[in-house]
Amino acid sequence: MEIDQKREIRFNEETMATVQKIIKRYPEGREKSALIPILHIAQAEFDGWLSPATMDYVASILNIQPIEVYEVASFYSMFNLNPVGKCLIEVCRTSSCWLMGAEDVVRHIEKKLNIHVGETTADGQFTLKTVECLGSCGTAPMMQVGHEYHENLTLEKVDELLNKWKAEGKRSRYC
Ligand code: FES
């Protein structure tokens, strides 16, 4: 996938005002507490992933070491450390979903999109990820796309969704 290397990593005025408002929620010297919400903002703002340059920028805003940002960003699966497609498909692979066929769902999506887990389609449209429990175990197997949950998945349902998303050029990220 093509990455815009020249893109300036800097929040616009409006976003920076929101970031500063979040930082002010915490006592002086505890600015690091604002890290997770700011990483969410940065990810949404800069193409759906956190590049080293983006993480360094966040560190500079919070006046902390870049390593402190990398540690947090690399711990949570909701942060992407590599470029992602316009539509990020996250399939839960934890116990309930696994027992109910998550592996078949993953294999099916891989075949349909001609990619493996962790990869993005050549047209930059879809990225496939597997993630740990998304708290919807009663409706397993399930997957998340942006803010949407798709539950009680069958291979037919997955086909319907993929066809629909391909036709409409679905976006799961808002940037
Ligand atoms: S195990 Fe998949 S949502 Fe909990």
Ligand 1: residue of 77, 137, 149 to mutate (most ligand atoms within 8 A of CB) is 137
Residue range 14-62, pLDDT digits in tens: 999 999 999 999 999 999 999 999 999 999 999 899 999 999 999 999 9
Ligand 1 centroid from CA 12, angstroms = 37
User: Do 105 and 69 fall within a single domain?
Assistant: no
In a domain, 93, yes or no: yes
Least confident of 70-79, 140-149, 166-175: 166-175
What is the domain-level CATH number for residue 154?
3.40.30.10
Q: What is the mean pLDDT of residues 90-103?
A: 98
Q: What is the mean pLDDT of residues 158-165?
A: 97
Burial class (CB in 10 A: 0-12, 13-18, 19+), 122: exposed
- Domain that includes residue 54, residue range: 13-75
Ligand 1 centroid from CA 55, angstroms = 29
Domain-ending residue, one of 52, 75, 98: 75
In a domain, 82, yes or no: no
What is the domain-level CATH number for residue 22?
1.10.10
In a domain, 7, yes or no: no
In percent, the amount of the chain with pLDDT more than 90 equals 89
What total number of domains does the chain contain? Answer: 2
Element holding 89 (H helix, E strand) = strand 87-92
Inform me whether the pLDDT recorded for 88 exceeds 90.
Answer: yes
Inform me whether the pLDDT recorded for 3 exceeds 60.
Answer: no
Domain-ending residue, one of 32, 53, 75: 75
Strands 126-131 and 87-92: parallel
Residue range 12-25, pLDDT digits in tens: 999 999 999 999 99
Mean pLDDT in the chain?
A: 94
Contacts of 28 (CB under 8 A, 6+ apart): none
Domain-ending residue, one of 32, 51, 75: 75
Ligand 1 centroid from CA 137, angstroms = 4
Is the CB of residue 137 below 6 angstroms from any atom belonging to ligand 1?
A: yes
Q: What is the mean pLDDT of residues 154-175?
A: 89
How many CA within 13 A on the CB side of residue 18?
11
